Amino acid sequence: MRSILVIGANGKLGSKVHANFAQSPHHTVIGVDVDELDIADFHATRAYITTHNPQLVINCAAWTDVDGCAKDPQKALKINGYGAGNIALASAEIGAGMVHISTNEVFDGKSPQPYNEYDPTHPINPYAYSKWTAERMVMAHNPHHYIVRTAWLFAHGGKNFIHSILNAVNAGKQLRVVTDEVANPTYNDDLADAIVQLADTARYGIYHMVNTGSASRYQFARYVLDKTGHADVAITPISSKEWARPSTPPTYASLNNNNGAFLGITLRHWHDAVDTFLMKEGLLK
């Protein structure tokens, strides 16, 4: 029996990871969120982790408002960067391993091909920098770490790109979607399953856990519309320069899953994942 602590357990990914572990007779799992624990407070984080004494800590907590991070970089660094560092230090002190969730945005998007796990990183916006800082701290403070990078998560019960596109259509809005932002649309439930598999391997390192295949935001939106009975709805293709926003995301930040695949952990193609998501939402036509 292994004891697991999920931090950020009320979030979409954290709640699914918590539920998956709770179904196993081989694990005991505890969940905590920001209302009980401020990961930016090192002493509080150390006390909580020490008291519960887990064998594995999974950090799903983060400030994921990318544009918000651009407006307040210090807050982003405090929560995403130093918060993860606090968890890494505290978990290492009790000999616990750590899973940390990171992002494809640690890359600058200038590569002509998908990024591999150990390609050089180069964050270009405050959110990305805060997550890059987290990676560095986790690697420095806890040798028993899994760093899991993902991209473009969509989950049930919350705001995501799929819901935004369909809400805009239902509101009669004209769709304008960028064509030069490319990454891997990734289903929250598939990622949670992969994390559970990975956590049982004791094969520490960096992993790219994304659904197979990549797409531009435009291609992602087009696929969603075609699958939900809106094939007749037009989308105006635009460049990222035409979509003003506080943050500057990397343009091409598709990820390769090499390390996970070597362990037999792969995620299905994003088309199949979107189909399953839409079916469960009652939106697939």
pLDDT tens for 241-263 read: 988 889 999 999 999 999 999 99
Q: Say if strands 145-150 and 97-103 run parallel, antiparallel, or are unpaired.
A: parallel
Q: What is the pLDDT of residue 82?
A: 98
pTM for the model: 0.96
Q: Give exposure, 136-157, as e/b (b: 16+ Cβ within 10 Å).
A: ebbbebbebbbbbbbbbbbbee
Q: Is residue 281 part of a domain?
A: no
- Which pLDDT does position 243 carry in this prediction? 86
Residue 164 lies in a domain: no
User: Is residue 114 situated within a structural domain?
Assistant: yes
103-146 pLDDT tens trace: 999 999 999 999 999 999 999 999 999 999 999 999 999 999 99
In a domain, 90, yes or no: yes
CB 37 within 8 A of CB 52: no
- List, for residues 177-190, the tens digit of each pLDDT value: 999 999 999 999 99
Using the predicted structure, report yes or no on whether residue 1 has a pLDDT greater than 90: no
Please give the DSSP secondary-structure letter assigned to residue 23: T
* Burial label, 87 (beta-carbon count in 10 A; 0-12, 13-18, 19+): buried
Domain count, the chain: 1
Residue 250 within any structural domain of the chain: no
Separation between Cα atoms, residue 270 and residue 257, nearest integer Å: 13
Q: How far apart are CA 102 and CA 177, in angstroms?
A: 25
- pLDDT band at residue 232 under the 50/70/90 scheme: very high
Q: How confident is the model over 68-88, as pLDDT tens digits?
A: 999 999 999 999 999 999 999
Asked whether 89 and 37 are in contact (CB, 8 A), the reply is: no
- Residue at 166 is within a domain: no
Is 233 inside any structural domain? no
Q: Is residue 259 part of a domain?
A: yes
175 CA to centre of own chain: 26
Q: Give the domain range for residue 152.
A: 2-159+185-212+255-268
> Catalytic residues, which ones?
127
CATH number at residue 144: 3.40.50.720
